[in-house]
Amino acid sequence: MPTALVRRMLAEFLGTGLLVAAVVGSGIAAQRLSTDHGVQLFENAIVTALALPVLILVFGPVSGGHFNPVVSLADWALGRRRREGLSGRELAPYVIAQVSGAIPGALLANAMFDQHGVLSVHRRSGWHLWLGEVVATAGLLLVIFALARTGNTRQTPWAVGAYIGAAYWFTSSTSFANPAVAIGRMFSNSFAGIAPGSVPGFIGAQLAGGVVGLGLMVALYPRVSEVAGDVVVPHEAVGSA
Amino acid sequence: MPTALVRRMLAEFLGTGLLVAAVVGSGIAAQRLSTDHGVQLFENAIVTALALPVLILVFGPVSGGHFNPVVSLADWALGRRRREGLSGRELAPYVIAQVSGAIPGALLANAMFDQHGVLSVHRRSGWHLWLGEVVATAGLLLVIFALARTGNTRQTPWAVGAYIGAAYWFTSSTSFANPAVAIGRMFSNSFAGIAPGSVPGFIGAQLAGGVVGLGLMVALYPRVSEVAGDVVVPHEAVGSA
Amino acid sequence: MPTALVRRMLAEFLGTGLLVAAVVGSGIAAQRLSTDHGVQLFENAIVTALALPVLILVFGPVSGGHFNPVVSLADWALGRRRREGLSGRELAPYVIAQVSGAIPGALLANAMFDQHGVLSVHRRSGWHLWLGEVVATAGLLLVIFALARTGNTRQTPWAVGAYIGAAYWFTSSTSFANPAVAIGRMFSNSFAGIAPGSVPGFIGAQLAGGVVGLGLMVALYPRVSEVAGDVVVPHEAVGSA
Amino acid sequence: MPTALVRRMLAEFLGTGLLVAAVVGSGIAAQRLSTDHGVQLFENAIVTALALPVLILVFGPVSGGHFNPVVSLADWALGRRRREGLSGRELAPYVIAQVSGAIPGALLANAMFDQHGVLSVHRRSGWHLWLGEVVATAGLLLVIFALARTGNTRQTPWAVGAYIGAAYWFTSSTSFANPAVAIGRMFSNSFAGIAPGSVPGFIGAQLAGGVVGLGLMVALYPRVSEVAGDVVVPHEAVGSA
């Protein structure tokens, strides 16, 4: 495996892990410190909106800052004809790095907060929640690919953070929108957790949302496939140097 | 109808719809999760301030990102002599797309939150609220046209979001400032809703605010009509390609 | 009086007035909707942090976006030797526009919220509050002049908003930092108001803070006087055209 | 001592002092005004996230805006082979300026809020808190050095502010991540304080976090040492002129 790919996997591993640590850690803190459920979710959402852009700025120049199997999959699907974006050989390493980063990310949050009891019992299922995940994931892809297509990638980190912070609230599912993060959040016995049995439904909805998002993207921006290499942000040039 | 205009209508339809979904969805979540009315409004306002810039960044390069009949009307009125901005033939399709996006946007939020009972009974009328809408809409036009006129359109999405987030609070009407959004919000049985009977008064005040805003704009920036084509953000060049 | 100066005075009048309307309006809303005093102040502070950058972006290209007699005075004082910045003849019109905008700004907020009883009875005095105003005003000048001096004026609107939002909290006086705003806030019978008898003390502290701020500025950036013409943001080139 | 170094020390002294004043001042205000512990911490975190970028923008062009001995140490360590960044002779003056600024910064906050009783009795120790400080400090170095390495220093002030605001919540230690600030916060008898006996443990964890952060940085960006001169933001060119 070439050094550059190892470095990109390290970036995806760390980025996804620290994203989950930020979500779970702030979830634990919110639950311990605040009583109003809305205030707890607001604290959780704003912390994520602040942390996610920084993670994209730090790790994005190495790997693109996907941190999300749906994003990697969409990038590969869009770019494969023109051989732009993620290649078929890179897709699996990306997803493996993301998922294997998400789990220790949750455990790190548990350790920092001395939180015992690992597996979540927080059930999240039902058609309205899955609809929420479809909307959340479709929207996320629109944000990422539209900004790449319109040459706005300098604004992408902040736009993605703002989007996720808002989507915590305007979707009923609090917008996981990310299979790796859903898997990581199984390992948190807090209000940010998700029971293992609820994860497949969420991942299914996220994949469906990915298809919807790509469809809308192609309708709005027919030439989107040309910019698959710049998703989430332009990368490699610096990272491999 | 040319393909490019259809695509622009799609962008206005989706942008307005998702804006209403964000406002109504976060309104429902706030009402369910928080008890303090100020905290509810704050959650609603910040979510809107985060979501609106992202929607402008995503859909603006296609259609300009108006999402608002008053903005489209003002753009047409300002630019018609110089044949800049929205033409007379495009005005109606824009407004139709906006209004017909706003309604399913509210219904999508209701569906995501499994919210029953559609029509709002939340009455909003009185001179002080209408004054709030006049101020809110005049201010919105000042933000959009001043930034276009001074070549600051890269900051427009964030400025519009910040403005609306603040105007939720400093106007008594919580700053609808948008007839399409007012119509959409009739279909929400939450604190973000507006009773159908209160909508005409709001729309009248918004149109009056539009006139005030354009008047101030011309006083401050006499050459504003030259930039009608760049409202809310520059578009078409990318969208039609 | 030349047209350009009239237009600049209009920009200072509207900018200062809308700033006071945003502060007072959100103060009234916060007091009515929230019970926790910290939450009220937080709502008030964040709204100001969002509104102020937008006002600078809208009116700044015409007048510089001072909205504050201490800023105008400092700009004149720094630039007078090199004949940069505000001239002696422009200083009085700026201050008059600011003060005469602040008062109707407060009255507009009262009218929007149907708030009766105009004059504030909120006493604010004592050495520790005046120390707060000295720190707040000195810091504000450092932000404005340092960003002008280092060619960062594109970030000035957001930096000024962030600074004031933070200074609401880290100074004991909630950071008025502006004589015109202090005068305007006399006309608000809400927690954002200030009793007329407390205004002279605040203005004295603000002027002292202005001297401290300019002194620190010269120590850090000896060549600051060259950029007086770009305070708060570059202007006139567009506004007078 | 050359004038330029004195000016840089003044910038580090003022920047670190005002950072501590912002943290401690907003901590005192939060404790007095809000009852919910989460709301208090949120107010404290958002104020810091708003104030820190402004301080970097104001003082950074003179000194780099380190305000933190770990940052100065890391900059020296990374750059010493190539003679980039802070030289060995400059390291001690930087650290002295930072620590001697932090203490009066806390005292200034106490004075502004008329707060009596200076030394904190707030104990903070335990392996999970120290783990929090390791994570917080490692992350801070990643943010600063990755943005310098990828030519993104214009975004550094806002990214550092967003990071610290988030890290208040996702680390159990509320992310001091700064030995000078830890020393300053001993002098605050509020919830933002730290008992003197807990400071050595925190500083040890911060130094360990510095090593972890630099190690990850070198793994991700092998050529990072070339940009030590641009940490936190590019400086001197303006400051010394």
Tell me which residue of D56, D69, D19, D35 sits closest to D204, measured CA to CA: D69
What is the arithmetic mean of pLDDT over C188-197? Answer: 93
pLDDT at C238: 42
pLDDT score for B238: 42
Give the pLDDT score at A239: 40
Chain A residues within 8 A of B62 when measuring between CB atoms: 220-221
User: What confidence score (pLDDT) does residue C81 get?
Assistant: 77
Q: Which of A10, A12, A14, A54 is the best substitution to test chain D (most D C-beta atoms within 10 A)?
A: A54
In a domain, C43, yes or no: yes
What's the pLDDT score for residue D238?
42
Q: Given the structure tokens 């005068």, which residue do they identify?
A: C183
Which residues in chain A have Cβ-Cβ distances shorter than 8 Å to D162? 50-51, 53-54, 161
- Residue type for position A176: F
| Residues on chain D touching C147 (C-beta within 8 angstroms) | 57-58
Q: Do B220 and C53 touch (CB under 8 A)?
A: no
Q: How many CB atoms lie within 10 A of CB A237?
A: 9
> Is 90 exceeded by the pLDDT of residue A240?
no
Distance of alpha carbon D207 from alpha carbon D141, whole angstroms: 11
Q: With beta carbons under 8 A apart, name residues in chain A contacting D172.
A: 25, 29, 112-114
Rounded Cα distance between A21 and A28, Å, is 10
C154-175 in b/e form (b: 16+ CB < 10 A) is ebbbbbbbbbbbbbbbbbbbbb
Identity of residue B69? P
What is residue D240's predicted lDDT score, i.e. its pLDDT?
Answer: 42
Residue C116, Cα to own-chain centre: how many angstroms?
25
Predicted pLDDT at C228: 87
Q: Round to whole Å and give the CA distance between A52 and B172.
A: 34
Q: What is the dihedral of CA D95, D100, D105, D108, to 10 degrees?
A: -170
The predicted structure's pLDDT at residue C239: 40
CA D128/CA D114 separation, integer angstroms: 34
* Residues belonging to chain B: 241
Residue of B nearest to C21 (CA): B170
Please state the rounded mean pLDDT for residues D44-61. 98
CA distance B131 to C113: 9
Q: Please, what sign has the CA dihedral across residues A144, A149, A150, A153?
A: positive
- Name the least confident of A39-43, A181-185, B119-123, B163-167: B119-123
pLDDT at A133: 98
pLDDT given at position C82: 79
With a CB cutoff of 8 Å and minimum separation 6, the contacts of C96 are C9
Alpha carbon distance D159, A151 (integer Å): 21
Contacts of B113 in chain A (CB under 8 A): 128, 172
Interface test with D, best of A112, A113, A232 (most D CBs within 10 A): A112
Q: Is residue C13 domain-resident?
A: yes
Give the separation between CA A196 and CA A124, rounded to whole angstroms: 10
Does residue D228 contact residue D75 with C-beta atoms inside 8 Å?
yes
List CB contacts (< 8 A) between C239 and chain B: 220-221
Q: Which of A169, A174, A176, A227 to mutate to test the interface with B (most CBs of B within 10 A)?
A: A169
DSSP 8-state secondary structure symbol assigned to residue D153: G
- Residue A69's identity, in one-letter code, is P
Residue from the list C23, C32, C53 with its beta carbon closest to the beta carbon of B162: C53
Q: Which residue bears the tokens 């950058």?
A: C53
- Chain D residue numbers with beta carbons less than 8 Å from the beta carbon of A30 are 38, 169
In a mutational test of the A interface, the residue from B5, B7, B41, B112 whose CB has the highest number of chain A CBs within 10 Å is B112
The C-alpha atoms of residue C184 and residue D182 are separated, in whole angstroms, by 40
Tokens 């750059």 appear where?
A: D79
**Mean per-residue pLDDT, C176-183:** 98
Q: SS3 of C241, please? A: coil
Instruction: Output the six-digit token pair for D4.
Output: 């330029």
pTM for the model stands at: 0.97
For residue D43, give the nearest of C38, C131, C149 by CB distance: C38
CA D173 to each of CA B20, B29, D43: distance values in angstroms, whole numbers, following the listed order: 39, 30, 16
pLDDT at B237: 47
Mark yes or no for CB contact D54/C159 under 8 Å.
yes
- Per the prediction, chain A carries an average pLDDT of 94
In order of A140, B49, C3, the CA distances from A145 in angstroms are 9, 21, 47
A-contacting chains (≥3 CB pairs under 8 Å)? B, D
| Domain assignment present for D235 | no
* The residue type at B38: G
Is the per-residue pLDDT at C240 higher than 80? Answer: no
Contacts of residue B116, defined as CB under 8 A and 6 or more positions apart, other chains included, come to B110, B189
Residues of C in contact with B152 (CB under 8 A): 57
Whole-angstrom distance, CA of residue C18 vs CA of residue C6: 18
As a whole number, mean pLDDT of residues D120-129 equals 95
Alpha helices in C35-123 (DSSP H): 37-63, 69-79, 88-112
Of A54, A62, A109, the CB nearest to D143: A54
Per-residue pLDDT tens for B57-72?
999 999 999 999 999 9
Touching partners of B (3+ C-beta pairs < 8 Å) = A, C
In a domain, B239, yes or no: no
Query: Mean of the pLDDT values across residues C119-130?
Result: 95
DSSP tag of B239: T
- The neighbour count for residue C236, using CB atoms within 10 Å, is 16
Q: Least CB-CB distance to A38: which of B21, B34, B161? A: B34
Q: Note the residue count of chain C.
A: 241
ω before A232 within 30° of 0 (cis)? Answer: yes
DSSP for A151-217 reads T-GGGHHHHHHHHHHHHHHHSTT-----HHHHHHHTT--STT---GGGHHHHHHHHHHHHHHHHHHH
Residue C199's φ and ψ, nearest 5 degrees, are -70, -45
Give the residue numbers spanning the domain of D91.
3-230
Contact between A60 and A208 under an 8 Å Cβ cutoff? The reply is no
C75 pLDDT band, cuts 50/70/90, is very high
Residue D26 lies in a domain: yes
User: Which pLDDT does position D237 carry in this prediction?
Assistant: 47
- Which alpha helices (DSSP H) does D34-68 contain, by range? 37-63
Measured between CA atoms, how close is A216 to chain D, in angstroms?
Answer: 31
The alpha carbon of residue B146 and the mean position of all alpha carbons in its chain are separated, in whole angstroms, by: 17
For the stretch B136-152, pLDDT in tens is 999 999 999 999 999 99
Q: Radius of gyration (Cα) for chain A, nearest Å? A: 17
The residue of B31, B36, B50 whose CB has the most chain A CBs within 10 angstroms, and thus the best one to mutate to test that interface, is B50
State pLDDT tens for residues D170-216: 999 999 999 999 999 999 988 899 999 999 999 999 999 999 999 99
Q: Does the residue B235 lie in any domain? A: no
> Does the residue A9 lie in any domain?
yes
d(CA A39, CA B171): 24
Q: What is the CA radius of gyration of chain C?
A: 17
User: CB C238 to CB B220 under 8 A?
Assistant: no
Contact of A97 with A9, CB cutoff 8 Å: yes
CB D8 within 8 A of CB D62: yes
Q: Is pLDDT of D46 > 60?
A: yes
Q: Examine residue A239 and state whether it is found in any structural domain, yes or no.
A: no
Which residues on chain B are in Cβ contact (under 8 Å) with C10?
Answer: 219-220
Q: State mean pLDDT over A217-231.
A: 91
Which of the four pLDDT bands, split at 50, 70 and 90, describes residue C171?
very high
Helix%, strand%, coil% for chain B, nearest 5: 70, 0, 30
Closest residue in chain C to residue D40, using alpha carbons only: C38
CATH of the domain at A70: 1.20.1080.10
Identify the sign of the CA torsion C205, C207, C210, C211: negative
User: Would you state the structure tokens that stand for residue C83, as one six-digit string?
Assistant: 């004949």
Closest chain D residue to the Cα of A40, Cα to Cα: D38
Please give the DSSP secondary-structure letter assigned to residue A82. Answer: T
Low-confidence residues of chain B: pLDDT under 50 = 237-241
Per-residue pLDDT for A21 more than 80? yes
D neighbour chains, 3+ CB pairs within 8 Å: A, C
d(CA D79, CA D56): 21
Q: What is the mean pLDDT of chain C?
A: 94
Cβ atoms of residues D159 and D57 within 8 Å: no
- The pLDDT-based confidence of C84 (bands split at 50, 70, 90) is confident
- Per-residue confidence (pLDDT) for residue B59, from 0 to 100: 98
Q: How many domains does the structure of chain A reveal?
A: 1
